[in-house]
Structure 1
Amino acid sequence: MTQLNETVLNELVGRVLGDLGGAVSVPLVRIGDALGLYAALKRIGPATAEELAEASACAPRYVREWLSAQTASGYVHYERGKFSLTPEQAFVFAEPDSPVNLIGAFDTAAAMVENQAKVQSAFKTGRGVAWGDQAGCMFCAVARLFRPGYVNALVQEWLPALDGVVDRLEAGAKVADVGCGHGLSTILMAQAFPKSRFTGYDFHPASIAAATAHARAHAVTNVRFEVGRAQDFAGQDFDLVTCFDCLHDMGDPAEAAAHIRRALKDGGTWMVVEPMAGDTLEDNINPVGRLYYSASTMICVPTSLAQETGLALGAQAGEKRLAEVIRSGGFTRVRRAAESPLNMVLEAT
């Protein structure tokens, strides 16, 4: 019989128990968000369970148990019979524009669980799971997951980090946002640079419909959305092409790179925003790598394998591999222009 190291075993069990606590918190966090419990607690706290139930029009017994679970998770503060959100807790759970609002990550985790049967089957066949066949509203969850980063860094930090791009956008540039999803990134840029013209492309028709509705709701008139694949979208002579968290999902990113190079005018720039990653597994054994490898297994690799050549770069491809793909399309210069804890921003010319 194999001799067990009790210390190592206990550390592993403790880690797994912590993970299970996080896993079973997923539906509770989503309930708190959907029913406005976090928002109400931020507004009225400190409050008793009964007071929060009244403020949110929910049943007190459920609210009391929910608050107890949230307190045990460290997501809600409890003191002298009343519950509240600390400023830090509110920043994560109750402020939609916070750079560390993580509600979208819980939505994505729920969609990944719902998607298990399809991905599990693909393990045996080697085939992919198309983006349009993902379970639940994966598209909504992913859009919400990335939104805080885009809202807080895209216009303020990432675009200014590119050589001369902001000046062109302020003067009036032609921009393609390829793989735009629900159009959050496209609309943020269009709002910030009203003299420029933006076209968002995505191969998923339902996402293009959502993006169009989003632009209409925000009365943004210098943007439009079209169904189009990265390797053959319409349009030429772009000053800037952007790809946000999508290059690694593409079936043929090398052909996408070549088409984007052809679509850019001379002197144009390609901005590639990708998940933060080192170039080796050893570099990515950390909390961010853990999240991205898991999401990559359940979302990114299946999506890529369902397309064309199915290169399946994965969400942790790393800068070296990404730069190789970008250069294969005819780009001669690739540099890391900016980064955040969750993303790297590459500039290709």
Structure 2
Amino acid sequence: MTTIDTPRLDEAALEQFVHQAVGDLAAAISGLMVHLGDRLGLYRAMAGAGPLTSTELAERTGTHEQYVREWLANQAAGGYLDFDPGTGRFELSPEHALVLADEQSPVFLDGAFETVASCYTDHETFVRAFTTGEGIDWGDHDDRLYTGALRLFRPGYEAHLVQAWLPALDGVAEKLQSGASVVDIGCGYGASTVIMAQAFEQSTFVGVDSHAPSIEGARAAAREAGVERRTRFEVAPAAAVPGRGYDLVTMFDCLHDMGDPVGVARHVREALAPDGTLLLVEPAAGDGLTDNFNPVGRLYYGLSTVICTPSSLAQEVGLGLGAQAGPHRMEQVLRTAGFSSVRVAARTPFNLIIEARP
């Protein structure tokens, strides 16, 4: 009779992993709590308000006290809020308010929680994609993906684009000051386009995106910012950008989503003036898998699984670079497309800023 050896378990390792998994489970439900706090204005009501009771917060926000009481307990248990047992009051610190309540802050993250919430809604779509191998078009997600992405990326663009990223490119800021032609591919709701148009009044900007509702949002944003005369937004795929001779082409967090990134990059090169520049902003990543074993890499691999890779697989070629392709792989794409000069011009904890020239 054959016996099967049962492997001995490392009880300490098992206990450690159970604690890790429970921590992730707590984070998963608490992510929903953050999204609710954002949607209901709870963080904004607490910012700068000092210690509050659940009754006071409910009155300030027009919400039900019993729900608010439970929400506050979750937030305090996770260290998002401070709690004074002696008074029974909760407080949002100034530091945490920058992350949770101030949309102008470069570290504001509620948009990321909104984006993740959209992914839970699309759960059945992802199950089907995993089993069939089919792609998921960018326009086929829950609407919070688009508004969440806007709120996730805009603070970083506002903090770094004009102040650091454009000056890191050779001669580009000077061209923009004197008057340049720019096309922003994959512009979404137009945050990056509008920020540049506000900073460089002598230049003209075209924003293109394949998602029509986003383009409508971009036009509205340009009107609100007072830059509609210097900007134009069109619904168009990345490989069909109108016009030629651009001084600057920008692509923010989108080339890795393309089905044929080499073909798109080749089209971009052909659309540039001979002395033009491509500004490519991609998610921060190292070249090897283990280089990305960190919280940011974990976040981006998750988003890549359900957003970026499915988007690529839904298009022709369907290369599926993923959000963590890394600088070496992105340079390969650009050089295969015919760019002669490629370099990483700047980095942030969340972004790679790449300069490419024909």
Shorter-chain TM range is over 0.9
Corresponding letter in the other structure for 1:24: I
1:263 to 257, 271, 286: 271
Measure, in 2, the Cα distance between the counterparts of 1:3 and 1:98: 51
The equivalent of 2:3 in structure 1 is none
SS of 2:266's partner is helix
The equivalent of 1:273 in structure 2 is 281
Measure, in 2, the Cα distance between the counterparts of 1:137 and 1:48: 31
Aligned length: 349
Measure, in 2, the Cα distance between the counterparts of 1:318 and 1:177: 22
1:128 is displaced (CA, Å) by: 0.2
SS of 2:97's partner is helix
The equivalent of 2:58 in structure 1 is 53
2:29 to 24, 37, 45: 24
1:205 to 186, 208, 212: 212
Measure, in 1, the Cα distance between the counterparts of 2:240 and 2:273: 16
1:118 is displaced (CA, Å) by: 1.2
SS of 1:44's partner is coil
Of stretches 338-347 and 74-83 in structure 1, the one that deviates more from structure 2 is 74-83
The equivalent of 2:17 in structure 1 is 12
1:151 is displaced (CA, Å) by: 1.2
* Deviations 1:8-47 (CA, angstroms, capped at 9, x unpaired): 1111111111111111012211221112111111132211
**Structure 1 residue 98 and structure 2 residue 98: aligned?**
no
Corresponding letter in the other structure for 2:29: V
Measure, in 2, the Cα distance between the counterparts of 1:136 and 1:164: 38
1:262 is displaced (CA, Å) by: 0.7
Measure, in 1, the Cα distance between the counterparts of 2:305 and 2:126: 8
1:339 is displaced (CA, Å) by: 0.6
Corresponding letter in the other structure for 1:54: E
Answer yes or no: is the 8 Å Cα contact 2:117–2:144 preserved in 1.
no
**Structure 1 residue 254 and structure 2 residue 262: aligned?**
yes
Answer yes or no: is the 8 Å Cα contact 1:99–1:149 preserved in 2.
yes
The equivalent of 1:110 in structure 2 is 117
Measure, in 1, the Cα distance between the counterparts of 2:61 and 2:123: 33
1:137 is displaced (CA, Å) by: 2.7
SS of 1:3's partner is coil
Corresponding letter in the other structure for 1:75: Y
1:135 is displaced (CA, Å) by: 2.7
Answer yes or no: is the 8 Å Cα contact 2:185–2:208 preserved in 1.
yes
Answer yes or no: is the 8 Å Cα contact 2:48–2:94 preserved in 1.
no
Answer yes or no: is the 8 Å Cα contact 1:119–1:298 preserved in 2.
yes
Corresponding letter in the other structure for 1:152: A
The equivalent of 1:318 in structure 2 is 326
The equivalent of 2:73 in structure 1 is 68
Measure, in 2, the Cα distance between the counterparts of 1:327 and 1:206: 33
Measure, in 1, the Cα distance between the counterparts of 2:8 and 2:217: 57
Q: How does 1:220-235 map to 2 (within 5 A)?
A: 220-221=227-228, 222-235=230-243
Give the alignment's TM-score, normalised by structure 1. 0.98
Moved over 6 A (4+): none
Corresponding letter in the other structure for 1:240: L
Which structure 2 residue ranges, 5 or more long, are not aligned? 1-5
Answer yes or no: is the 8 Å Cα contact 1:273–1:344 preserved in 2.
yes
Of stretches 24-33 and 238-247 in structure 1, the one that deviates more from structure 2 is 24-33
Corresponding letter in the other structure for 1:319: P
* Deviations 1:138-169 (CA, angstroms, capped at 9, x unpaired): 11111111111111111111111111110000
Which structure 1 residue ranges, 5 or more long, are not aligned? none
Corresponding letter in the other structure for 1:85: L
Measure, in 1, the Cα distance between the counterparts of 2:244 and 2:290: 41
* Deviations 1:154-213 (CA, angstroms, capped at 9, x unpaired): 111111111111000000100000011111011001111111000001111111111111
Measure, in 1, the Cα distance between the counterparts of 2:213 and 2:53: 43
**Structure 1 residue 43 and structure 2 residue 48: aligned?**
yes
Measure, in 1, the Cα distance between the counterparts of 2:198 and 2:21: 45
2:312 to 294, 304, 310: 304
Measure, in 1, the Cα distance between the counterparts of 2:95 and 2:144: 28
SS of 1:135's partner is coil
Q: How does 1:111-190 map to 2 (within 5 A)?
A: 111-190=118-197
The equivalent of 2:342 in structure 1 is 334
The equivalent of 1:345 in structure 2 is 353
1:55 is displaced (CA, Å) by: 1.4
Give the alignment's TM-score, normalised by structure 2. 0.95
* Deviations 1:79-113 (CA, angstroms, capped at 9, x unpaired): 23211111221111011111111101111111111
The equivalent of 1:196 in structure 2 is 203
1:136 is displaced (CA, Å) by: 3.5
Of stretches 328-337 and 241-250 in structure 1, the one that deviates more from structure 2 is 328-337
Measure, in 2, the Cα distance between the counterparts of 1:78 and 1:156: 38
Q: Percent identity?
A: 52
Measure, in 2, the Cα distance between the counterparts of 1:141 and 1:2: 46
Measure, in 2, the Cα distance between the counterparts of 1:17 and 1:102: 23
The alignment's C-alpha RMSD in Å is 1.0
